[in-house]
């Protein structure tokens, strides 16, 4: 039986992309709230929808890769527990 990889560079990159997508979505939400507070009419709906699509794509890329590759963690085989 083949061993499950403990570290996967591809998965790490996918997770980094997901984190950036989450941060971008959060920044847009914060900007939307600030705009609403200031009475700005710009709704951010299109930008938020696009950011949510990127977030979802990044999330499902991680899940698909993990299911196909079988990798689990981000700890390099030479380090960590």
pLDDT at 3: 59
| Tens-binned pLDDT, residue by residue, of the chain (81 aa) | 455 556 788 889 999 999 999 999 999 999 999 999 999 888 889 999 999 999 999 999 999 998 887 776 555 544 444
Question: How many whole angstroms separate alpha carbon 50 and alpha carbon 17?
Answer: 15
pLDDT at 25: 97
Question: How many whole angstroms separate alpha carbon 25 and alpha carbon 16?
Answer: 14
pLDDT at 81: 42
In sequence order, the β-bridge partners of residue 74 are 7
Q: Residue 4 gets which letter from DSSP?
A: P
pLDDT at 41: 83
Question: How many whole angstroms separate alpha carbon 21 and alpha carbon 80?
Answer: 27
Greatest CA span in the chain, whole angstroms?
A: 62
């Amino acid at each position: 039986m083949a061993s499950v990889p403990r570290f996967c560079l591809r998965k790490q990159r996918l997770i980094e992309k997901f984190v950036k997508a989450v941060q971008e979505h959060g920044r847009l939400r914060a900007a939307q709230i600030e705009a609403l507070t200031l009475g700005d009419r710009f709704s951010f709906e299109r930008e938020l929808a696009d950011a949510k699509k990127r977030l979802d794509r990044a999330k499902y890329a991680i899940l698909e890769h993990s299911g196909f590759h079988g990798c689990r963690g981000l700890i390099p085989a030479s380090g960590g527990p």
